[in-house]
Amino acid sequence: MFLCNKTVLLLLLLLTVLSLSAQASSNNNTTFSVSFALISRRFSHDDLSPSYYSSFVSQTKQNRKVARAPSLRYRSKFKYSMALVVSLPIGTPPQTQEMVLDTGSQLSWIKCHKKAPAPPTTSFDPSRSSSFSVLPCTHPLCKPRIVDFTLPTDCDQNRLCHYSYFYADGTFAEGNLVKEKFTFSAAQSTLPLILGCAKDTSEDKGILGMNLGRLSFASQAKISKFSYCVPTRVSRVGYTPTGSFYLGENPNSAGFRYVSFLTFPQSQRSPNLDPLAYSVPMQGVRIQGKRLDIPATAFHPDASGSGQTIVDSGSEFTYLVDVAYNKIKEEIVRLAGPRMKKGYVYGGVADMCFDGNAMEVGRLIGDMVFEFERGVEILIEKERVLADVGGGVHCVGIGRSEMLGLASNIFGNFHQQNLWVEFDLASRRVGFAKAECSRSA
């Protein structure tokens, strides 16, 4: 594991692809397309970081004066080692901010500082932006309960709208709700959007919330579709694999295969359902061509919401409900049981782990396929079945949802490597296509 040095970060920012196109179509509409570099950022396991950023497992800090994290219903010691990071220009004039791309969260937030030091800095300086404003307590959003916004807010001592946000392992972001523009060029910018300006946070990167909520970046900016291509993980020092993130049209979309969202009323209040997530109709799993005996109900939400299957860029691993996880583990044990690390559970969520040569173990396990409706399949080659979790240990990149207190299936970014994933909001569908993401444009 390694952290990118400042030189590499600066080079990556210089290499960020920013392409704007406005093409007149036959009916005089315009097609919007802007792209950025997407980095799979590797973190140290010593970082205080969540296993996933998604809002449906977050909690709100009940007392801002208490420095120690409160007891949380969903709590895990699991630390992620990889997140998808995009650098976006925010403010007028724009300040480049690193944000974790998270299709499972609604609120976007950036790290703010009143008097940021001389660049380079990871903090956003509101005093340098002419388009920055803070939401007052009188704003309609600054109320104890908003139907489709699960983040309670309150008034701070300055009569400004305050929020506190806690993730499952105690990572937090706390500050004011503000309005600010995303400025792509002199001619291209969003209207001022509502986001969090975190002045007290354990993270040095913000969150780009991209779920179906009305306050997500995608909804507020009226983005009809977005897509990304996740590069493969490479542990070579000095090299950071870089993929792509598109807002609007993707020139590579001709070969995408789509499945429709499963949609739910946003007013639906099932205990295990997230109506704002990108829920997809998963059907099954194959290993070495063998379709596992997993009931279809494991991947579809019941009346309580259990079994919902979510595509989530903010989760590193894929998580499955017990009935699916146990069948996969049963097959893995049959294929490579003698090589398993006995009694070892990675982060309290994953126990299909191995010592020794990962390539040899991968060949024993073979290819894995996730099946969706309409014949859409995602192939995980045997070379990418195992994740390097450090210390010479490799684990199948699947965790047990129950160990996180969840009843959902989450398709994480580990299984989205070398894959285009497009969220077509206008047509209510998700598209997938095989790709060499490190070379994608």
C-alpha 290: how far from chain center: 30
Q: What share of the chain has pLDDT > 70, as a percent?
A: 76
Q: How far apart are CA 196 and CA 126, in angstroms?
A: 12
Highest mean pLDDT among 62-66, 150-154, 236-240, 309-313: 309-313
pLDDT digits (tens, 9 = 90+) for 356-413: 999 999 999 999 999 999 999 999 999 999 999 989 999 999 999 998 888 999 999 9
Tokens representing 205?
Answer: 């990167």
Q: How far apart are CA 309 and CA 296, in angstroms?
A: 11
Q: Give bridge partners of residue 423 from the DSSP assignment.
A: 226, 430
Give the model's confidence band at 163: pLDDT under 50 very low, under 70 low, under 90 confident, else very high. confident
Q: How far apart are CA 418 and CA 124, in angstroms?
A: 32
- Weakest-pLDDT range from 105-119, 146-160, 276-290, 405-419: 146-160
What values do phi and psi take at 227, rounded to 5?
A: -155, 160
Q: What share of the chain has pLDDT > 90, as a percent?
A: 59
Give the model's confidence band at 139: pLDDT under 50 very low, under 70 low, under 90 confident, else very high. confident
Pairing of strands 95-102, 206-209: parallel
Give the model's confidence band at 118: pLDDT under 50 very low, under 70 low, under 90 confident, else very high. low
Residue 67's pLDDT is 29
Give the model's confidence band at 327: pLDDT under 50 very low, under 70 low, under 90 confident, else very high. very high
The total of other beta-carbon atoms located within 10 Å of residue 252's CB is 17
Residue 322's pLDDT is 97
Q: How far apart are CA 428 and CA 224, in angstroms?
A: 10
Q: Buried b vs exposed e over 365-376: b needs ≥16 C-beta within 10 Å?
A: bbbbebbbeeeb
What is the average per-residue pLDDT within 158-181? 79
Helical axes 358-365 vs 322-336, angle rounded to 10°: 110
Q: Buried b vs exposed e over 195-213: b needs ≥16 C-beta within 10 Å?
A: bbbbeebbbebbbbbbbbb
Q: In terms of pTM, does the model score above 0.75? A: yes
Residues 6+ apart with CB under 8 A from 64: 162, 164, 174
Q: Which residue has the tokens 């995009």?
A: 86
Radius of gyration of the chain (CA): 21
Q: Which residue has the tokens 């019941």?
A: 302
pLDDT digits (tens, 9 = 90+) for 206-225: 999 999 999 999 999 999 99
pLDDT digits (tens, 9 = 90+) for 247-262: 999 999 999 999 999 9
> Are 432 and 354 within 8 A, CB to CB?
no
Residues 6+ apart with CB under 8 A from 87: 12, 13, 16, 36, 37, 96, 97, 98, 99
Q: Which domains does the chain have, with CATH numbers?
A: 81-223 (2.40.70.10), 247-439 (2.40.70.10)
What is the average per-residue pLDDT within 290-309? 95
What is the average per-residue pLDDT within 164-179? 75
Residue 56's pLDDT is 37
Query: CA 259, 264, 270 angle in degrees (round to 5)?
Result: 125
Residue 233's pLDDT is 82
* pLDDT at residue 414 tops 70: yes
* pLDDT at residue 12 tops 50: no
**Average pLDDT over the chain, rounded to whole?**
81
C-alpha 134: how far from chain center: 26
